[in-house]
Structure formats: structure tokens, C-alpha cells
Amino acid sequence: MNNVLQHGIKTALTIGLIIGVTACDDESAIDKVVDKMDKKYSTEISYINAVNASTTFYAKSNLYTRGVYDSDFKVVNLLENKVSRKIDHKWSSHGHKFEFAIKDTNSGARTADVKYNVQNKGKYWAIAWMDNNSDVLSIFEMKPSNQNDVFRVRVFANTALSVKILGSDADFTETIAGEVSETYTINNCADLYVGGNEIDLCQQGDFGQSYLVVVDSQGLITYGKE
């Protein structure tokens, strides 16, 4: 019996067991079954806190019955304007539908959640940001596009802002709140202006690398390497 067929049979049996347990309405038993499933798939996610308070991030596969705010699904606590390392999330067959959530670390309030289908070996950003006075969570793919001797930059903003690159006559499209921009090529570390504010990559940025820059109307919030 080949490995593909064996895996298919094993998956079918496991799903059948989950369905059987579900019929008994025992959530803890269902989750114990999911815990024992072969987690052969993985996804890397880097979390960004662009909210003006310490924020806790959560993530879980849809196979689990417990709520996303269960302590077992806590991923990371981030202070204001901080970026996490790439964190590996392992999941089982049919478990690619994820729920992500945030809440204020100290008060437990200001919650937000979003559902997103991840891909095996995919790499993603998860950004907590502020839409006026509401906290929002956005998930999207990383898109590294390294080029020698330049910076490659995408911009994520919480409002519509102008984009200008020194030395370029191009008419760049304004940012859209909650959406990531196209990729810009920057020849020098301080050539990018968003909303009239200089976005300085000179301190931690490296030529030849690509970055996601997170901004608001006051300027740079933080940035991370794609």
C-alpha cells in the first residue's frame, strides 16, 4: 500500500472519529482527537502590533471546537509597535482554515478576529491595527522580492496617504486603509515618503532586502523583513 493511500485512509478514519465524537457532543474529546492527529503541514506567521497598547494574538485551526481565546491558542504578546519573529504553526489535513484573534493584553477588551485559509509552507503577516478607535486584525501573504543594492518596500497604512519616492517622477497610487500596497523600489534608505512623512529605513534596514512598512498619518509605526 503506497504512502498516499495510507495517509488518505488514516485521514478518513480520523475524520470519521471526529464526526463520531461530535455526535456525542463532547468538545474536549474532539479536541483531544485533533491534538493526536498527524500535523504534517506548517505555516509561518509574523505578528505585528500597530495598536497603541500591548496586544495578545491568538490562532487556531477550525478543527478545534474550543473558542479562539482559549489559553492554549495564545501565540504571542506584543508591546506597542513591535514585530514578532516568524512563528511556525503546524496543522493537520483539512485543518487549513484558521481563526486569528487579538485582545488588549491588560484589559482583555478591544477584541477582533478574522478567519483565513492558510497554505502549507505559506508565509504570512498578521497585523493588529487601528481603524479610527476600533482595533482590526488583517492577514495577508508575505512577498519577499529582494534585489541587490536597493530596498524593496510594501506599505500597509490605516488610512489613505500619498506615496512619494525621491528621484522618481512616477505618480504613485495612494494607500488604501487596511490594504497592502504594491512593491516600491527605493535606492536610498530615506527616499520614501508616505503622507508627507519620511520613512527612514537607515537604522535597521539593509540594502538588498525587502520590507513591509506599517504607517499612519503621523509617519512610521514599525517595519519588518518580508
Overall pTM surpassing 0.85 (yes/no): yes
* Residue 146 located in a structural domain: no
Residue type, 160: A
- pLDDT at residue number 5: 42
Q: Are residues 118 and 172 in the same domain?
A: no
Rounded Cα gap, residues 39 and 94, in angstroms: 10
Q: Are residues 66 and 96 in the same domain?
A: yes
Kind and range of the H or E run holding 75: strand 74-78
The larger pLDDT score, comparing residue 16 to residue 220, is at 220
Q: What is the pLDDT of residues 167-207, one digit of tens each?
A: 999 999 999 999 999 999 999 999 999 999 999 999 889 99
Q: Are residues 27 and 55 in the same domain?
A: no
- pLDDT at residue number 94: 86
- pLDDT at residue number 13: 44
Q: What is the pLDDT of residues 127-164, one digit of tens each?
A: 999 999 899 999 999 999 999 999 999 999 999 999 99
Residue range of the domain that includes 67 = 41-141
- pLDDT at residue number 204: 84
Burial of 195 (0-12, 13-18, 19+ CB in 10 A): buried
| Mean pLDDT estimate for the chain | 90
Q: Which CATH number do you get for residue 85?
A: 2.60.40.2890
- pLDDT at residue number 182: 97
Q: Are residues 15 and 83 in the same domain?
A: no
Helix axes of 27-36 and 3-23: crossing angle, nearest 10 degrees = 170
pLDDT at 32 over 90: no
Rounded Cα gap, residues 160 and 137, in angstroms: 18
Overall number of domains in the chain? 3
Q: Are residues 204 and 168 in the same domain?
A: yes
